[in-house]
Structure 1
């Protein structure tokens, strides 16, 4: 009843028939291997994928949506978008106090399979959860919500090497160079160290490092600190 009243209070909300492009799930990585067990663990209801930055939580969620998720699907990056922006993309102008209730009604009415990416806390997610349906949440934190799947670093089952080769050849030159050079830096390193190694401005290097994290070739290990999984480091050191 609360959700119905919230919708009615906005005065004739109109929705589009399709999901706005900004909130459609991106395609999963072209080269995806080694997560069969984790894919099997995702289930109906709420599933939280938790793990370190760059470990592949979002890639895992997107692959599951492509292989096994129902349609239609709605993707919200909570680190980038507020719920009000999502609603406005559907043609809704909602009082901020009603946004979460209207969002839940939208998800229920359209029967979306929902991916909430980059959640920072359970408090951020809980007000957005519909009463039923399938919701995937990714977070660096272990959120006490539904079924939790811990996503660790990939292990080499014989497919990782070829996968890394494919990912490497698709890197732009700046990223590929950083990938090669930083692999020789022992332990974790920050942007200033990477910039000195590469002989490039820190702002350019930081963007390239963030891209390597997004491609799961590098891992954030702290505030402004990066590191390699041992298997990835060994791969990077073979490149010239």
Structure 2
């Protein structure tokens, strides 16, 4: 049953106890390597991981949550979900003007470790920060919020290639072919583009792309959009 959240602006509202599945952190990439220093640099409080698209900010945050995070964890992709949707998933239906206050109370009272992914501005993040606890933020922008940690391009220290080779040889043929062909697309791409590249029906391609995401060889970068980490793309382009 839900507990009670007291919020000054809205009175008393009720919400579910557990984190809804849609807002639980996904698993980090299975081939995560080479970010030990960055992992060590994340501390309690607010940390903003900033860097170029595809550099691995989200993967780093998810790996930290898996290895070093504590308690219940809440993941919100700010590019995909509005805060009102998060609250409704918890069973909280409040006026739009009160959403940020209710969200802060929810996070603070449950002592969630919070990941705010794909933030576009400090103004988007600041109203959502609880008064205490650990918050990770990823953004392409350098936000003036908390501690800022620059995430640069990942250098292959020799461990990544063999891991990707192992993942690749286990792929069914359709997935392996998509992995090779889509790597030549320079940016993010959707199912229609991948289907055109492969010359296959969109329904079959969509299932194969989802499988590549599950195997951490491809990343979802928005609603119905996919992309490669730079080093994974480079690996895929070597395959024939």
Shorter-chain TM-score bucket reads 0.7 to 0.9
Cα distance in 1 between the residues matched to 2:149 and 2:211: 25
Shift of 1:71: 0.5
Aligned counterpart, 1:50? 50
**1:54–1:217 CA contact under 8 A, matched in 2:** no
SS at match of 1:13: strand
Shift of 1:209: 8.0
Q: Deviations for 1:193-222, whole angstroms, at most 9, x for unmatched residues?
A: 97776445799879988997994668x9xx
SS in 2 for 1:149: strand
How far the C-alpha of 1:55 sits from its partner, in A, is 2.2
Give yes or no for contact 1:51–1:139 (8 Å, CA) kept in 2: yes
Report how many aligned residue pairs link the two structures: 229
Q: CA–CA distance in 2 between the matches of 1:128 and 1:101?
A: 8
Q: Distance in 1 between matches of 2:187 and 2:91?
A: 45
Residue 115 of structure 1 deviates from its aligned partner by 0.5
Instruction: After TM superposition, give the deviation of residue 113 of structure 1 in Å.
Output: 0.7
How big is the alpha-carbon RMSD for the aligned residues of Structure 1 and Structure 2?
3.4
Give the corresponding residue for 2:40: 40
CA 1:193 to 1:92, structure 2 compared with 1: closer, same or farther past 3 Å?
closer
- The within-5 A match list for 1:1-240 is 4-8=7-11, 12-169=12-169, 171=171, 173-181=173-181, 188=186, 198-199=198-199, 215=216, 229=230, 232=232, 235-240=235-240
Residue by residue over 1:64-106, the C-alpha shift from the partner in whole angstroms, topping out at 9 and shown as x without a partner, is: 1111111111111111111111111222111110010111111
Could you say what secondary structure the match of 1:6 adopts? Answer: coil
Compare 204-213 and 96-105 and name the one that shifted more.
Answer: 204-213
**Distance in 1 between the 2:234 and 2:105 partners?**
49
- TM-score by structure 2 length? 0.78
Partners of 1:116 and 1:172 lie apart in 2 by: 34
- How far the C-alpha of 1:123 sits from its partner, in A, is 1.2
d(CA) in 2 for partners of 1:163 and 1:89? 37
Q: Conserved in 2, the CA contact under 8 Å of 1:53 and 1:213?
A: no
Cα distance in 2 between the residues matched to 1:83 and 1:46 = 19
Q: Tell me how far 1:189 sits from its aligned partner.
A: 6.8
Residue 208 and residue 49 in structure 1: after superposition, are their counterparts in 2 closer, same or farther (change >3 A)? farther
- Structure 1: which 5+ residue stretches go unaligned? none
